[in-house]
Amino acid sequence: EKEIVSRTGSGIFRYNYRQYYDRVKKLADVLTRLGVERGQRVGTIAWNHHRHLEAYFAVPCMGASLHTINLRLPPEHLAYVINHAGDKVLLIDSDLVPLVEAIQGELETVEQYVIMGDGPLPQTRLSPVHNYEDLMAEASADFAFPEDIDEWEEAGMCFSSATTGMPKGVTYAHRAIYLHSMVVCMADTVAVTEKDAVLPIVPMFHVNAWGMPFAATWMGAKQVLPGPRPDPHTLCQLMQDEKVTLAAGVP
């Protein structure tokens, strides 16, 4: 019954882990219907919110790889990392659609665009394009995750911000995410526990928000996700209202 609290473009959305798990299975069903197969990559261009968190587990658990894309990269780097990763589907926040529209003509591997938001599908030049919630409404929560995923299989991918040259891709094995999450929960490190309310300020598109979403889910901690374009007032209000005990961000 522990909560996941998500700030969206239209307000605060909250649900519990049981409901979250059903939606994770539905998203895996959606992606399977869109043609995503084991070993393929799904890209996200999104802020910190509950739909992004659903992708954090649906994609790796179905045997695919989650490519979290840094929305602050310049257009030529955005196109490069999407092509280099070979993303088959892009999950895009509605307010970030213009970033993808600007480079759509350069994308070589993307076959489906899915827009995440609270309202109807916005006007867009992207094609073929789908509304995330419409797809979820038609999906099944009976999706069965494969049980034979090896711990060394790829679970995720991030790119550097390219201090020199083009961005460099780094892959994460299931084993790596498991071990990192274990370390994050140790007493002498971040010490994430079940009693915490965790607010990751660090972006979910940047090194997996330091692994906080994985660790917090493992422990069953309350998660508070600050949503699109968070400012200091928004963050402080969420800390106060949701009784946040741990906020991961650069001081």
* One-letter identity of residue 114: V
pTM of the model: 0.97
pLDDT tens digit string along 205-245? 999 999 999 999 999 999 999 999 999 999 999 999 999 99
Own/partner contacts of 30-33, CB < 8 Å, gap of 24 or more, are 30/114, 30/135, 30/136, 30/139, 31/58, 31/59, 31/62, 31/64, 31/89, 32/62, 32/143, 33/135, 33/139
- Strand order through the sheet with 112-116: 129-131, 112-116, 89-93, 41-45, 65-68, 154-159, 169-173
Whether residue 40 contacts residue 66, with contact meaning beta carbons closer than 8 Å, is answered with: no
User: Which tens digits make up the pLDDT trace of 177-207?
Assistant: 999 999 999 999 999 999 999 999 999 999 9
Q: For residue 35, with 0-12 CB atoms within 10 Å meaning exposed, 13-18 middle and 19 or more buried, which class applies?
A: exposed
**Mean pLDDT, residues 130-135:** 98
Query: Any idea what the Cα angle at residue 231 is, between residues 230 and 234, rounded to 5°?
Result: 80
Residues 6+ apart with CB under 8 A from 220: 2, 17, 194
